[in-house]
A and B are shown apart, each in its own frame.
Chain A
Amino acid sequence: MSFRLRLILLVTGLIATVAVVTTAALAWSTRHALVAQAEANGHLAAAMLAGSTTETGTDNPHALRRATDWLLAIPEVEGVLVTAVDGRALFRAGTISEELSAERLDAALAGGGTLSLGGWETPLVVAPVTDAGGAPAGAVVVALAPGRLHGVIRDQVEVAAVTAVIAAMLGLVLAVLLARFVTEPLEHIGQAVSAVEARAFDPHVLRTVVARRDELGALARVFGAMAQEVVNREAEMEALVRKRTLELETKNRALTAAKHQLDAELNMAQAMQQATLPATFPQHEAYAGYANMTPAREVGGDFYDALLLDEERIGIAVADVSGKGVPAAFFMLVSRAVLRRIANSGQPPGACLTEANAALVRDNPLDLFVSVCYGILDARTGEFRYAAGGHHPPLLIRADGDVVSLPGTGGVVLGVMDDLAYEEHTVHLRRGDTLFLFTDGVTEAFDIDGEAFGDRRLTKCLQNTQLLSVQAQAVKVLDAVDKFAAGAPQSDDITCLVLRYNGIAETMEEGNRLAMVLTNDLSEIRRAALVVEAFGRRRNLPRKVVFDLNLSLDELVTNTCSYGWDDDAGHEIRISVAVGEDAVTAEIVDDAKPFNPLTTATPDTTLDLDDRPIGGLGVHLVRTLMDEVRYDRVDGHNHVVLVKRLDKRPTF
């Protein structure tokens, strides 16, 4: 409800209240006046009767009649009753039914004056009559006509009411005008408030109000000042916000540019770091190698290395520096340099790690550490010596496809504790064996569920991969890890190094002579057979000759491989085949235990199935198939010579 409306209602209410009160007062006073007038008439009548009354009051009937007639002539009077002192009715005139008891009369008279009785409905006036001596002689009771009384009052009230309504309406009009006059400045202020709220403040709105000298004027002036202040502040604020937003955008652009530059630098660092790793493996006929390092972040802490120590020995290493990012990358370069320098001295792996550890402990301001697996393969013998410091030993994929984990050497990570000695272990590789070195980025690659790739999966992945190229083997593992971890972020650098040992396959052909060197592995026999067959084809040797020769070589080499040595080491068996004018001569030379095929007992081929022993057939075949067999032991070596004559008539 607006202030103005309230004001109007208030004023109207006030005026209406005044009118109503006035009307009520008027009604009441009119009644009072009428009753007073009746009392006065009563007194008058009483006075008229005063001197003429005796005890009964009928002594002077004329006076009585005169008084009562006069009273009755008054329009308001309805009836008259004259009573004695004790209340007995002496005379009635008009309409009056009231009986007065003595007590009431006494009370009225004791009052000495007129007493109005009967209430509103039947107003009575009692006036005492005194005799000549002044003693109470009776009373005159005047009954007023209520209808008439009421009529007078009603008329009065009607007039008053009409006046009140007119007054109220006038009051309303006045109130409206007054209210407008009073509230106009307030409304101006109200408009100004709304304007401020709507941010459209115009001091012009208040111009009339501020000129006033009263409290509203002061309010308006102060409000106007405040509103102006607010508007100014807001304008300032907006300007400030715009400025700051602009600054922020500029800074943002600068930040983005800086980040791009940082990314570019890190990418370059990664490229440089990758460039420091050997890109290609040293080439050698006895082995083939492949290595790969995939970093987790732009620069990694893993590295691999392959160094040619001399013509026959190659050193291979994989390593994992603690941590990731730039500090790890620096330490990686340092440890790689240290390891390389020490390895190039040609010391065995254990000694190398011992020395490398000492060097890294000395120069390690960031207290980083590195786990290393370092090994040296001797291509001539297939001997592989290795040592590891806090690192998984290599896996060996045998030539038959089985995968085994080489024994650990129990070393601690490098760079942490001074004065540590590193143990080493040696295995003998056969032709077709493959070494797989790796960092724990492979086995500890996690998938989305937090499960690790693990040793078992790695082993399974490498099983029966002996015929794949070394690169294919590495890629198979890397792909498997990739697929396993699909989706999960790469948590660590992934590095692997694969080295396949092919053995020294010296096969030399010169004119009519073939020379080859086998290692003491049964799978070599097939290779030798192929070589001899190819050689025989080129020399146009009869197929039977080649077959018999191969079978003989097979039997003898099998015996040598199976029984010739007690160790697990790789040994050489040298075979030469020479085609002569009328015979082919083959020679087998090895350093196995002395074994003369000529002295082996000939099996009894007449025995029946139950009695035939399982062994002994091989040498028998050789002696039967070959035309000549000769044996000699020279310088700790067995020399067996086989001669097969070249018949001009082929048997098949």
Chain B
Amino acid sequence: MLDIADTRHEGILVVAPMGRLDSATAGVLETWLMERIASGETHIVLDFDRLFYISSAGLRVVLMAGKRVKAAGGRLELCALAPPIREVFEISGFFKLFDVHATLDEALAAAR
């Protein structure tokens, strides 16, 4: 239901969910991320380049991941948000919570 592409860059896990992150699909990403974080991934970049839609359910997952990573002493960076996604982040005040970068390289640099 939700395709998640993931790669590694020098020990940083880059996660790229594709398509819609809504109430029907958010659970998939949540499970996926929580598993990875629990098994020790603490430097994560959420690459939203392929994401064209996010609802509050998706925001919830990002928030949960952020809290967990912070508790584990890691870093969670975001990048490549499309304008509709940016607007949602804006309204929700998420820009205050997360570092959002324009490109993947910037996010990787920040995540080290």
A-to-B contact residues, CB < 8 Å: 400, 522-523, 525-526, 529, 544, 547, 550-551, 554-555, 558, 561-562, 605-606, 608-610, 612, 614-615, 617-618, 620-621, 624-625, 652
Contact = CB atoms under 8 A, between A and B. Distances in A.
Contacts of B92: 605, 617, 620-621
B24 to A, nearest CB: 4
Interface in B57-112: 57, 59-60, 63-64, 66-67, 70, 83-84, 88, 91-93, 96-98
B7 interface: no
Residue from the set B22, B60, B83 with the largest chain A CB neighbour count within 10 Å? B22
Interface in B29-83: 53, 55-57, 59-60, 63-64, 66-67, 70, 83
Nearest to B59: A617
B22 A608 contact: no
A617 B56 contact: yes
A609 B55 contact: no
Contacts of B91: 620-621, 624-625
A558 B70 contact: no
Contacts of B98: 609
Given A558-B57, A614-B63, A614-B64, A606 B93 contact: yes
B81 to A, nearest CB: 13
A609 B70 CA distance: 9
A503 B9 CA distance: 46
A627 to B, nearest CB: 14
Contact of A554 (B55, B63, B70): B55
Contact of A614 (B24, B60, B97): B60
- Give the one of A551, A606, A610, A652 with max B CB within 10 A: A551
B24 A526 contact: yes
A551 B88 contact: yes
Given A526-B20, A547-B84, A554-B22, A605 B55 contact: no
A522 B24 contact: yes
A559 to B, nearest CB: 9
A609 B66 contact: yes
Contacts of A550: 53
Nearest to A552: B55
A606 B96 contact: yes
A339 B105 CA distance: 70
Contacts of A610: 67, 70
Interface residues of B, number: 25
Interface of B: 1, 20, 22-24, 53, 55-57, 59-60, 63-64, 66-67, 70, 83-84, 88, 91-93, 96-98
Contacts of A551: 53, 55, 88
Contacts of B55: 551, 554-555, 558, 618, 621
B9 to A, nearest CB: 24
Contacts of A525: 22-24
Contacts of B22: 522, 525-526, 554, 558
B24 A555 contact: no
17 contacts: A522-B23, A523-B24, A525-B23, A525-B24, A529-B53, A554-B22, A554-B23, A554-B55, A558-B23, A558-B55, A606-B96, A609-B67, A614-B64, A617-B56, A618-B55, A620-B92, A621-B55
A561 B98 CA distance: 30
B96 A544 contact: no
Contacts of B70: 609-610
A605 B64 CA distance: 15
A523 B28 CA distance: 14
Contacts of B23: 522, 525, 554, 558, 561-562
Contacts of B57: 558, 618
Nearest to B19: A526
A613 B88 CA distance: 17
Nearest to A544: B84
A615 B60 CA distance: 7
Contacts of A614: 60, 63-64
Residue picked from A400, A522, A620, most chain B C-beta under 10 Å: A522
A54 B16 CA distance: 179
A523 B2 CA distance: 12
A608 B67 CA distance: 10
A618 B66 contact: no
A605 B89 CA distance: 11
B93 A605 contact: yes
Nearest to B70: A609
Contacts of A605: 92-93, 96
A558 B91 CA distance: 19
Contacts of A620: 56, 91-92
A605 B92 CA distance: 6
A33 B22 CA distance: 159
B28 to A, nearest CB: 11
B112 to A, nearest CB: 20
A554 B67 CA distance: 25
Contacts of A609: 63, 66-67, 70, 97-98
Contacts of A555: 55-56
Contacts of B59: 617
A547 B60 CA distance: 19
Contacts of A652: 83-84
A558 to B, nearest CB: 4
Given A547-B84, A620-B56, A621-B88, 10 more contacts: A522-B22, A526-B20, A554-B55, A558-B23, A558-B57, A605-B93, A605-B96, A609-B97, A617-B59, A621-B91
A564 to B, nearest CB: 13
A542 to B, nearest CB: 12
- Tell which of B1, B23, B83 has the most Cβ of chain A within 10 Å: B23
A473 B19 CA distance: 28
A606 B93 CA distance: 7
A608 B55 CA distance: 20
A605 B98 CA distance: 13
Contacts of A608: 96-97
A175 B19 CA distance: 129
B12 to A, nearest CB: 19
A525 B23 CA distance: 9
A555 B92 CA distance: 14
B25 to A, nearest CB: 9
Contacts of A529: 20, 53
B2 to A, nearest CB: 11
Nearest to B84: A547
